[in-house]
Each structure stands twice: as structure tokens, then as C-alpha cells.
Amino acid sequence: MSRTIDGAGIDGVLQGAVDAGDVPHVVAIAADADGVFYEGGAGPRAVGEPDQVSGSTHFRIMSMTKMVATTTALQQVERGELDLDAPVEEYVPSFAEIQVLEGFDGDTPKLRAPARKATVRHLVTHTSGLSYWFWNADIGRYEQVTGVPNVVPGDRRALFAPMIADPGSRYEYGINTDWLGLVVEAVAGTTLDVVIKENVTGPLGMDDTMFALDDARQGNKTPVHVRGEDGAWMSAGNFLPDYPEWWPGGHGLHSTPRDYIRFERALLRGGELDGARILRQETVDAAFSDQLGGIPLPEEIASADPATTDTLHLGPGFTWGYGLLLNTDDVPGRRRAWSGAWAGLLNTHFWVDRTTGICASIYTNSLPFISEHEAWKLYGDFESALYAAL
């Protein structure tokens, strides 16, 4: 039987953020090993509409997709089908085409071969050298001068943007998990949507988590919100293509707070939920352990596209596991050391605190990401209110 708490303080945090205009809407949810013990929401599904958001509203979870896709790769490792230390090109030969961007000669990119071959492990730990345009100005410029799109519109050419560092030399957050999804497909002999359905969402009863939503679920999805010229929230439409040229393991899933919390609970419980085991305990333990091998995680990642994201200020005391950001110290009044977490570009965020025995997540669909005094502040206020209520 899951615990009970007085959620009034959390409700106030959520409603206050909407009333202040910090976010267009918000849903938050928290659970322990036995079940959900808090769920709350505030604000309309779309600005100007009567429907309110709830735990059953569909959100684009963007990079919260990454841990789901990473789980399918770890399952293949457990079955002996995938070698984390094998070169990526052994599974997906076209990966060998990717070079390292050293700069520009005028508007001509200067490219060279990487010093070593990127491995599957490099993809899982974001140490392959691949990046994103919104946190790396050189990739943004490369896409601009070559016409190669970023990954969001779903054009497969986006996968072949260059590395900006040699594999294994530094942590650089990027399109690694999109390539990892292609590796998983090559090993499985089928597409990533099928692999995830058969091995994660199906066994866990996550029937509302998928890449392409059917018509009924489309009507339950919040649009992406941005600020208009008057500073008020407005709908910016769909943002993600419904049918991209590949199923992006890095950002493509839609889910609901009630669905995704089942995945979080499975991680909290060591890889099992309601009799369905998706990972072994030792694999989950590895996912929640430092996997960077001495490579430092940046304390700050500067924005290269302020309309898309604010600068990420992490500070000291963080590392990366398998698909998870890990805090190596307790956060006073909040999550304990070695909690695993990550977020999605449209302002969704989750964490799993195995020491306290809880997991939680919070959802809006808005840009820019982690706006420091708005969505990012709300994350922290929700977390503090949740721990205060325990």
C-alpha cells in the first residue's frame, strides 16, 4: 500500500506557477514502490480552452524518451545480443561516415576523421562527440551553412551531423540516443516502436506511451506553448512530426504522467513492476552508477539557441550513468545522493530517488527549456514541496 501525504502544499506550488504565468499549465505526479501517492495539475490543456491538464493528458516527453530507448539496449546487453564496447559501425555501418568538425573556413566546414571509433557505450554515456544545435553553436552553424536539418523535423539527414569532439574525450550531450535506437533496431531486426512496445511499454502496461498517437489520443495532446509578443502564452502547434523518417530514440515518444510513472516505478523497484521484469537488478544498479570513467560532466552547458533553451546550470557534484543524470551528493531538502534523473526539451522532468524510495515527474509542454526563473524554478519548488510533505 503506497504512502499518503497532505498534497495541499504541492497543489499550491503548481497553481501558483500557472497563476503567475510562469508556465501555461503543469501536471505533477509522485509514487513509491507500491503506487502513486500524489497527482495534481493546474491550467488548461491549451491556452484559451476549457479542458484542464491531468495525469491522463498526453505530453511530448522529448528526451525522457532516452531512458526508455536505453533500457531496450541494456536488455539486449543482458541477452548477450549487444556489446557496449563494440564500434557503433559494426551494427550500423553508415555511422562510419561521421567525421569531426574542427571549425570553418569561411562558410565551409573543416572536417576530419575521428581519432578513434565510437562505441555503443559512447552513445549510452554521451561521450561519442555528437551534439545538439541548441547547446553547441558550431553544430548550429554547420546546420545553417550546409542545410542539414536538426533532428526535430524527422529528416534522416539530421543524423549525419558531425561530431564536435573525438569519441571518448568528453561529455557532450547530443543525438547519441537516436543512433542508439538504430543500433537496437539492427540487433532486433525490427523497428524501435515495436521493440519498445514488446519489451518496455507492453510489459509495464503503459498503453498510452508511443511514438505516433492515434486520432483519439491526438485529441488529448497538449500543443507546445511559447510566449507571444505580448508575453502571454500562445499555442505553437505540434512541434514534432507525427511520422518522422525514423523513430527517434532520443526524443520521439508521447506519454502521460500516469503512464511514465510506471516506468519510473520499475526503475525504483530494481527493474520489475507488477510481476513484469524489464531489467535485472544489477543492470539497474549500473544505470544508477557513474559510467563516465573520469570524464567530467560540465557544471554548466551554455545555450546556443535562447529561443529553444536557457543555459543549464548544474553546478558541481553530477555525473552520468546509463541514460540518467546522477547527483553524487544529497540535495538539501530534496533528492538524495545517486538519484537518477533527466528531462525533456519541452519542459518535462523526472527523477528516481532510490534512497528515499520515491520517484516523481512534472510536465508542461512549453519553450524555452528550463527557463531559469520559470519552469526550472518550478521543478525545484515542486521537489521541495514534495519532500516537505513526506
371 is catalytic: no
Q: Which of 63, 339, 361, 366 is catalytic?
A: 63
Residue pointed to by grid coordinates 497538449: 222
110 is catalytic: no
C-alpha cell at 348: 518535462
66 is catalytic: yes
Q: Which of 38, 66, 221, 339 is catalytic?
A: 66
Q: Which of 132, 142, 173, 387 is catalytic?
A: 173
* Pick from 15, 52, 17, 39: nearest CA to 375: 17
Compute CA distances 371 → 40, 54, 233, 317, 368, whole Å.
Answer: 22, 22, 14, 22, 6
* Pick from 113, 182, 194: nearest CA to 151: 182
Catalytic (active-site) positions? 63, 66, 173
